[in-house]
Amino acid sequence: MFKRHRRLRSSQVMRDMVKDIYIDVRDFVYPLFIEEEKGIKKEIPSMPGQYRISLDMLEPELDEIWNLGIRSVLLFGIPIEKDPMGKEAYNDFGVVQEAVRLIKKLHPEMLVITDVCMCEYTSHGHCGILSGPHVLNDETLYYLSKIAVSHAKAGADMVAPSDMMDGRIQAMRKALDNEGFINTPIMSYSVKYASSFYGPFRDAADSAPSFGDRKTYQMDFRSTKEALREAEADLEEGADILIVKPALAYLDVIKRLYRRYDVPIAAYNVSAEYSMVKAAAEKGWIDEKGIVVEKMYALKRAGASIIITYHAKDIARWLKNNEID
């Protein structure tokens, strides 16, 4: 006798009863792009529904996020001034630092995560200090550590280094501990590929490199074992959470990390993954809600317990209105 699997698919109630993967609004982290200038809420052309927002315009956005049930945000700063050393990144009164203080004042219980990198702050757009055309690894660690400490001093609940310099987690952990921030966790972009899926983000954050690319420090997507080496090194150096970025083309990597390491795995559902859905939905080619929900379940199935996504507000609305299961 063959097995009748369809018995457990016979009705919506039956399917709901036997499912084993769940989506909860508390799983999501919503990225925010914070402008240093004033009076700005400007939609990002390549990311419909996403905005660059100045501090004086941030309160209504935060209220909306909170009222939707989203409890975690990831901050990216867009400073007025950039220079070769990215000095505004570790300015104690820089745009991200001030955003952290404002959020903690308006919504003290919101979990504030800060992206730690230099690409939005350097005039050349690379993620570290340069010597000629080369990004210097060890020299950059000092500045990344200064950024992390500056964010923690402002009240950040967690720092998320995205630069992909070797040894950065160890350097930041030591710097944070030395400044008394022993309980500030590090959510590391441990597995971050040199990807074509970042295009819209670079428009949003003004972070495109002015020359060359980032392939000498971000990972080669043709390599599999490298992901495990990067993750293992970050854990040994003190990372608390591992991020895989991008998400959808790397479900296999998320699964490998989930099976191997007993720590939370985060998936970054990046800008092009978002924008492609929005563009196709605007054309009427796809069911946007159906596609987004299917993507989120795929990430959870692969092992991600945390999902960083620009879809978070849409998903929160659908959940609140009982439009998705």
SS3 241: strand
* Distance from C-alpha of 281 to C-alpha of 279, rounded to nearest angstrom: 5
289 is catalytic: no
Dihedrals phi, psi of 228, to nearest 5 degrees: -70, -40
* Distance from C-alpha of 129 to C-alpha of 217, rounded to nearest angstrom: 13
* Distance from C-alpha of 36 to C-alpha of 75, rounded to nearest angstrom: 13
Question: What per-residue string of b and e applies to 35-69 under the rule 16 or more CB within 10 Å gives b?
Answer: bbeeebeeebebbbebbbbbbebbeebbeebbebe
Residue 94 is classified by DSSP as S
104 is catalytic: no
* Distance from C-alpha of 30 to C-alpha of 68, rounded to nearest angstrom: 11
* Distance from C-alpha of 257 to C-alpha of 231, rounded to nearest angstrom: 8
Residue written as tokens 């399917």?
15
Q: Among the options 245, 295, 300, 313, which is catalytic?
A: 245
Q: Among the options 192, 295, 300, 313, which is catalytic?
A: 192
Residue written as tokens 């950039």?
82
Residue written as tokens 């720590």?
263
Q: Residue 41: beta bridge partners?
A: 53
Closest by CA to 140, choosing from 156, 117, 124, is: 117
Please identify every residue annotated as catalytic: 192, 245
